[in-house]
Amino acid sequence: MTRSLKKIPKRFLIYASLAAVFTFLLIFSQRSEKTDTPEIKIPEITAAETKSYSEKLEDELEEIISKIRGVSEVTVMVTVDGSDRKIYASDISESEAKTESSPVIIGSKEALLEGSEYPKVNGVLVVCRGGDSPSVKEKVVNAVSTVLDIPTGKVFVTQAK
């Protein structure tokens, strides 16, 4: 048998090997493309959810700011950037050619929620009695800045009518 292989030119063996490899790759690449992907239900975030988040922040800030000495009749307005961001678990599959990521599906074809991120706070306006006092302003600005982890320049405090 080895004598008959020696008679076959090396080029022919190389070409035949390459053809076999390409045929193998072609067959398996077509198989992976034919897999059906299930319809996935990913819940959408509504404007109402974002509004409720900013309203919740406003209510909590009003409550805590009203407890600062020299402050009364507090009204707070919080502006946020964008909306809540839901983070879904994903299954990452890697191959030499590409990397694919697909959501992890649970029971009823719903994506598995891994976590969520709240929208970024752009700024805070605080209107209150006592807001004209520099010491009260400083306390309120520092409290809001600390609670929301935003720069003090994004917090404005002013006197109520």
Q: What share of the chain is helix, strand, coil (3-state, %, to 5)?
A: 40, 30, 30
How far apart CA 161 and CA 158 sit, in angstroms, is 10
pTM over 0.85: no
Confidence of residue 20 (pLDDT cuts 50, 70, 90): confident
Per-residue pLDDT reduced to its tens digit, 52-109: 888 999 999 999 999 999 999 999 999 988 766 666 666 555 566 666 655 566 656 6
The two structure tokens encoding residue 119: 């929208």
